[in-house]
Amino acid sequence: MQGCSQRLTLHVRTLAWLSATLKPSNPSKKPRRSEEQPLTRRQKLAEEGRTHDVPDAGPAAYLLEYLWDFGPAEHNGMGLVPIGYSQISAWQQVTGLRLSPWESATLRQLSCSYCAELATATDPMAAAPGSAHETPEQAAERRDRVSGALSSMLRRRAKRGR
């Protein structure tokens, strides 16, 4: 069961990582148009012509259907929070399904993992779940951003000196 939980968790964390709305690379820079919406990581990767594989969820993948049916998180007025056992119990009553204690605990843990990953994945440089190191693309992007920031800083400094 432990292996099933780990595979499900990695799957859900990866989906949250891809769904995260990215913070601007340069927060001091305001968007040119107010109608510009921040991109999700999935949209940014698509714009760049890249994709990211979602790991296989394994034999307990049916639990993902349940998770998406009642929603991986809920709003509490301050942001997203994990689904509680009371919501899982209410969902069981409405659907007529009876979950085992392991299934209920796993759904709760998946909800917690989803919320945690979604919160940390807003950083454009956040590594993909399950990756120990940054990918070559992430390293290149980081180098480009640092180089661009330094160039911009030097141009501003040169303009002030004139």
Same domain? For 116 and 146 the reply is no
Q: How many domains does the chain have?
A: 2
Q: pLDDT of 63-122, one tens digit each? A: 999 999 999 999 998 889 999 999 999 999 999 999 999 999 999 999 999 999 999 999
Q: Write out the residue range of the structural domain in which residue 40 sits.
A: 2-127
3-state SS string for the chain: CHHHHHHHHHHHHHHHHHHCECCCCCCCCCCCCCCCCCCEHHHHHHHCCCCCCCCCCCCCCHHHHHHHHHCCEEECCCCEEECCHHHHHHHHHHHCCCCCHHHHHHHHHHHHHHHHHHHHCCCCCCCCCCCCCCCHHHHHHHHHHHHHHHHHHHHHHHHHHC
Q: What is the pTM of this model?
A: 0.75
Q: Do 89 and 71 share a structural domain?
A: yes
- 78 and 142 fall within a common domain: no
Tell me: do 92 and 105 sit in the same domain: yes
Query: How does pLDDT run across 111-121, given as a tens digit for each residue?
Result: 999 999 999 99
Residues 18 and 60 in one domain: yes
Statement to judge: residues 118 and 39 lie in one domain: yes
